[in-house]
Homo-oligomer: A and B are copies of this chain.
Amino acid sequence: MRYPAKVKLVDVGPRDGLQNEKQPVPAEVKIQLVHMLQDAGLKEIEVTSFVSPKWVPQMADATEVMAGIQRKPGVRYSVLVPNMKGLEAAFPSKPDEVVVFGAASEAFSQRNINCSIAESIERFAPVVEAARAKGIYVRGAISTAVGCPYQGEVKPESVELVARLMKEIGVQHCGVADTIGVGTPRKVQAAMEAALKHYALDDISGHFHDTYGQALPNTLACLELGVWQYDASVAGLGGCPYAKGATGNVATEDVVYMLHGMGIDTGIDLDKLIDAGKYVSDFLGRKPVSRAAQAILTRRAG
């Protein structure tokens, strides 16, 4: 069969997930969550974001969280940095990887960061250079890669443009993100193929939201292209800022259930992963937004 034999999952729950919680989650809960994720076998965790606490109070404890983690050998700890100030704030925490962002939608770029796609990437050039000078790996995320809340459809050509610009400024890894979860299999394949024109298969990942229930078929469609790295969020942490109450990030548990069922190795212990999701969901006072987790927790209670 054409599917990859192994898949690497990056859990973005502590950052992309908890950033969307109204009430900031205490640092010790985030640290415990990271510990449970690494114990479950995750090999990369997007821990936090070095952003202005004025804009994102949920991530104001970035330095504290990074300092509190007992790092496990072989695990990568990544952080998001929106600009040079964020990168400099991140340096003392010694992240293995920093994540920078660019939108594939011109309308999204204008509305969110008040500049064109090309300008936004250009602004990242010194950040990428400074990070790489310190030996930090740079991941670029292409947001709104298949659809945009403002302009609707996003063409693969736009994804290709962002991928090319990112490549030009030295971004080492390209993540293709369906930020609002509107993508379906053929569309995400087209977006992925556009990114693959500038990045090798080993330097590409998919980031799918489950807002319309499409994250797993989209993952399956990209597995067929050979893409073997995906972001996911334990317990489906993180809602959708463009549709309040709707589902956001795909749950790591659901992805793992599918991959293991297909005989694809992730190195993850699904039961421990479910424990991690239950831990943070209990703290948040709700059920994990993962169908596999709910079914398995029901069976456990059974």
Interface residues of A (CB under 8 A from B): 1, 181-187, 210-214, 216-217, 219-221, 240, 243-247, 251, 254, 257-258, 260-263, 290-292, 294-295, 298-299, 302
A219 to B185 CA separation, bound complex (whole angstroms): 12
* CB-defined A-B contacts under 8 Å, sample of 6: A186-B263, A211-B291, A214-B261, A243-B295, A243-B298, A246-B294
Q: How far is the CB of A147 from chain B (nearest CB, A)?
A: 10
Q: Which residues of B contact A220 (CB under 8 A)?
A: 185, 217, 220-221
Q: Point out which of A183, A244, A246 has the most chain B C-beta atoms below 10 A from its C-beta.
A: A246
Q: Which residues of B contact A263 (CB under 8 A)?
A: 186
Q: Which residues of B contact A182 (CB under 8 A)?
A: 261
Say how many copies of this protein the assembly contains.
2
- Are A291 and B257 touching (Cβ within 8 A)? no
- Are B295 and A181 touching (Cβ within 8 A)? yes
Considering the complex of A and B, which 7 residue pairs feature the smallest CB-CB distances, nearest first? A184-B261, A213-B291, A213-B254, A246-B295, A212-B292, A217-B220, A216-B217
Q: How far is the CB of A265 from chain B (nearest CB, A)?
A: 14
Q: Which residues of B contact A181 (CB under 8 A)?
A: 295
- Are B216 and A295 touching (Cβ within 8 A)? no
The listed residue (B210, B246, B302) touching A298 by CB distance below 8 A is B246
Name the residue of chain B whose CB is nearest to the CB of A1: B186
The listed residue (B185, B216, B221, B299) touching A213 by CB distance below 8 A is B216
A262 to B294 CA separation, bound complex (whole angstroms): 29
A254 to B212 CA separation, bound complex (whole angstroms): 7
- Are A258 and B217 touching (Cβ within 8 A)? yes
Q: Which residues of B contact A221 (CB under 8 A)?
A: 220
Having A214-B261, A240-B295, one finds 11 other A-B pairs with CB under 8 Å, namely A211-B295, A212-B295, A213-B254, A213-B258, A214-B216, A217-B219, A217-B220, A217-B258, A220-B220, A244-B302, A245-B294
